[in-house]
Structure 1
């Protein structure tokens, strides 16, 4: 008999998850909570849980804080995210933070059941139609890291100030270099990042950590 913790502040969606679980595992036990504090308490104190189905955006959680805290409270317990978010970036970050599955709330009941079964069987789950987009993002991220590695410390300093919207004159003042040197650094930044304008460079740099 499986025991699930369903953590979602929307009663209608908790009911939808319960219907899926009851339809596949008629002897399953389901614990419902509507906020992060309650989820943490159950995860910490109930040793019989087999899975947590967690909404990313619920009272007490901000960003991925809820997922990370539950992973700390119950590191061996599989957590599956059930969310209205469907962007590859959000899914990738959820998996990086320890989720074993990601189920968009737009999924059919059959797909939700398949996802839960996959994780219970020891596998991870991402919707097939989104897996390709996630893999493409990973590839682009790897390319970006390779390009960023070509930048010198001085060029990275200029790029950081570019992302803050500062003009060449202010960048030169803050870095105590000549404005002509700033222009030279920007030329090298554009070449190494494979872009054609400072605006494009700033957009690329948004994915870098300074």
Structure 2
């Protein structure tokens, strides 16, 4: 029997995902939570085979969530299952230690395939991620989408800036110095060709359309 944890703050998504999981794995024990602190408690008290992890959850910590889960269960398989931009974020979450990245917009067939693949092989990547792995961070990719030029930390800082966080708040959340935040902010502005957070918001929205 497989033991699975769903970390997702929308109950209807948890219900639908669990339905598909049970279609692939008739015998499965599952736990659910809608926030990250509760998720860590479950991970610390239950042996798990697979974790479905949404990124945009209450008290979520971005890329740091992968590391915190792994400190409690190093060998657990982690599937990021989210509606965040797959082209921008997938590679970064895989580098952070996730075993797979699956978009919520995926078809039921693809979700079934992903579950079977990640439990059998310990890894799943979509066709889009396969293309990213094949072509890497090429000049052509950076030209078509400058967001691809951002590092993992720069993306974390950018997301917090877009949430309206100040330098001191970002430094506390990411456990870095205020001067480091300022440096990352400067790099982000240079790479995206903007001068203010308002321009950054407009540029990112345009690139993600």
Q: Deviations over 1:159-202 (max 9, x none)?
A: x99x849xxxxxxxxxxxxxxxxxxxxxxxxxxxxxxxxxxx93
State the 1:87 CA deviation.
3.3
In the alignment, structure 1 residue 82 sits paired with structure 2 residue 81: yes
Give the 3 Å change call, closer, same or farther, for CA 134–87 of structure 1 in structure 2.
Answer: farther
Give the 3 Å change call, closer, same or farther, for CA 22–139 of structure 1 in structure 2.
Answer: same
User: Is the 8 Å Cα contact of residues 8 and 58 (structure 1) preserved in structure 2?
Assistant: yes
State the 1:21 CA deviation.
0.8
Residue of structure 2 in register with 1:16 after alignment: 16
- Within a 5 Å distance, the mapping from 1:28-47 to structure 2 comes to 28-47=28-47
Secondary structure class of the residue paired with 1:4: strand
How many Å separate the matches in 2 of 1:92 and 1:55? 15
User: Is the 8 Å Cα contact of residues 60 and 66 (structure 1) preserved in structure 2?
Assistant: no
CA RMSD of aligned residues (A): 3.0
How many Å separate the matches in 2 of 1:70 and 1:4? 14
How many Å separate the matches in 2 of 1:59 and 1:135? 34
- Within a 5 Å distance, the mapping from 1:61-80 to structure 2 comes to 61-80=60-79
Uncovered stretches (5+) of structure 1, i.e. residues with no partner: 144-159, 166-200
Give the 3 Å change call, closer, same or farther, for CA 70–140 of structure 1 in structure 2.
Answer: farther
Residue correspondences, number = 153
Uncovered stretches (5+) of structure 2, i.e. residues with no partner: 143-181, 195-209
Residue of structure 1 in register with 2:99 after alignment: 100
User: Is the 8 Å Cα contact of residues 81 and 103 (structure 1) preserved in structure 2?
Assistant: yes
How many Å separate the matches in 2 of 1:96 and 1:205? 26
Q: Which has the larger radius of gyration?
A: 1
How many Å separate the matches in 1 of 2:114 and 2:105? 13
State the 1:140 CA deviation.
4.4
Residue of structure 1 in register with 2:57 after alignment: 58
Secondary structure class of the residue paired with 2:76: coil
User: Is the 8 Å Cα contact of residues 44 and 73 (structure 1) preserved in structure 2?
Assistant: yes
How many Å separate the matches in 1 of 2:29 and 2:15? 14
Residue of structure 2 in register with 1:194 after alignment: none
Q: Deviations over 1:116-172 (max 9, x none)?
A: 11111124111113421354343449x9xxxxxxxxxxxxxxxx99x849xxxxxxx
User: Is the 8 Å Cα contact of residues 89 and 134 (structure 1) preserved in structure 2?
Assistant: no
Residue of structure 2 in register with 1:4 after alignment: 4
Q: Deviations over 1:56-97 (max 9, x none)?
A: 111111322222211222111111100101332310110011
